[in-house]
Amino acid sequence: MAFFKENSESVADLVSKLTLGQYNPVSSVEVLTPKANLGFRIGHQLTATDILIYTASVIECADGIQDLRDRTSQDVPFSYKYDANGEARLFESNRGFHDWLAYLASFGDDDVFDDAKPVLETDISDFYQRIYFHRIENILNDVNASRGSNGAIKKVIQVCRSKQSFGLPVGSSASRLLAEGLLCDTDRLLLDMGLQASRYVDDYRIIANDRNNTHSVLCRLAEHLMVTEGLSLNVAKTRIVDTRSLHKSVQQKLQDVFTTAEMRAFHQHLSTTYGDEEIDDEDESGPDNPFLTGSDLLDRLDELKKNNSDFSSRKAILKVLRSVPAADAARLLKDHRDLAYHLPRDFCRAIRASIEAGLAEPVEVEAAVWDLLQKPPISELSYARLWLLNLYANGTLPSDRKLIVNTIGRPSALEERQLIFIRARLNDRAFFREQRGRLGQVGEWIKPALLVAGACLPADEYRNWIDIAVRQLGDPFAQAFGNWLKQGQDYEALMAV
């Protein structure tokens, strides 16, 4: 990805010359990820090149998908609206889940003197995993996708889903955009029934005309999804409330973690810290101090855990901890170890922010992380192990040979990559010399990691290896990638990304 970013023009030129009909995706790594308290879902990680081709192909169709959505669904869908002028941003801003809750706070409230109206709350069960492949074909045909992009999209999906007849790669922005096109017919059904409805991905809020026909609406929606889309509603998340209860519940959720004022201050802080072309000139100075301290946020985490709040609220705290004065990592590891299992990515990023801010000793944190890695349930969940190992691979924690001597569980391809980077940090040159003659025997997922981490070898030896290695890569960017590596990339900086 760093190679793509630093060589965007030359990579774009290479992409434009690809014969997509001859392009063969590598497939994805499937990883079990936690969902809610006791649930799971499968997440997919594509290779960098497959992500690039898949996303580029979907972007070619994006205007057509958005036009279909605007004509058919009107304002029912709230989530993931394609922004043709967004440059690096694929979707319009201000359409996150928090924004949807704010929208629902007055949804259906046309007249404050009206009686409360019945509201059907429901969502689709395992939406991304259950989408039929032929429906994706239909969408691509509806928007007149070019032959090349049409074929590339279908190839990536089929290879990723092991040629099953259903499911999209979970976690990709390209998949989100395709899925939005798929639900246009369902949105249209609700509009044709004369109903007010709002949807965030697969989550619906529908206002019925009166309480007597609420069940009829539910039956019609369920029948349409089952017969037309091969999808079903989530029984556990389906209920009937009224507009007053809806407004009260979303207001409570909005205040559960951050008040609206705090959210506004936080967004201003992010714009100041990371830059945003939409921020007003007069606001560029921004607040000198963020709106909450790390200690404040940990206090809120304590309260949320005590009240058994859902993990989405605790996840919001972890995300903010990456961007404000970080909390003491020792306290996070001591009192909220469960988040390393349920929310490992955000948990580890918060740990990294704490160490980078000088609020924790890496050696002390490393001892606690090592303890987490060796005990259930984390020792049994590859996804959690992956992110904890990344703390070593990116240099946040000091690397130790125990990581490569004591294999933790059965490592996935993604974990193997982290262990390769850890070997580079340990300057394990003997290992990389052994791999020079074995490159043709390892998978496509492992080869780029070996080539990046192999820079720990002496410069001449490394360049000679690259010249030989790129011939064994099946990637269309292999030669350009090898030339970029030979220019003398800082491999420790690449591993720290």
Asked if pLDDT for residue 176 goes beyond 90, the answer is yes
Q: Tell me which of 492 and 435 has the higher pLDDT.
A: 435
Give residue 93's pLDDT: 83
Summary mean pLDDT of the chain: 85
Residue 140 banded pLDDT, cuts 50, 70, 90: very high
Give residue 98's pLDDT: 80
Give residue 116's pLDDT: 83
Residue 262 banded pLDDT, cuts 50, 70, 90: low
Asked if pLDDT for residue 408 goes beyond 70, the answer is no
Give residue 260's pLDDT: 58
Give residue 77's pLDDT: 95
Asked if pLDDT for residue 173 goes beyond 70, the answer is yes
Give residue 497's pLDDT: 67
Q: Tell me which of 439 and 264 has the higher pLDDT.
A: 439
> Mean pLDDT over residues 97-106, rounded?
88
- In eight-state DSSP terms, residue 146 is -
Give residue 489's pLDDT: 76
Task: Express each pLDDT in 469-493 by its tens digit.
Answer: 888 888 889 999 999 999 887 777 7
CB 329 within 8 A of CB 354: yes
Residue 272 banded pLDDT, cuts 50, 70, 90: very low
Residues 79-113 as b/e (b if ≥16 CB within 10 A, e otherwise) read bbbbeeeeeeebbbeebeebbbbbbbbebbbeeee
> Mean pLDDT over residues 216-232, rounded?
94
| Domain boundaries along the sequence of the chain | 1-253
Indicate the burial class of 61 (C-beta count within 10 angstroms; 0-12, 13-18, 19 or more): buried
DSSP letter string, 265-329: HHHHHHHHHH--TTS-GGGTT--SS-SS-HHHHHHHHHHHHHTT--HHHHHHHHHHHTTSSPPPH
Beta bridge mates, 279: none
Residues in the chain, overall count:
497
Q: Which of 43-47, 225-229, 256-260 has the highest mean pLDDT?
A: 225-229
Asked if pLDDT for residue 280 goes beyond 50, the answer is no
Give residue 286's pLDDT: 32
Q: Which of 481, 478, 456 is nearest to 5 (CA)?
A: 481
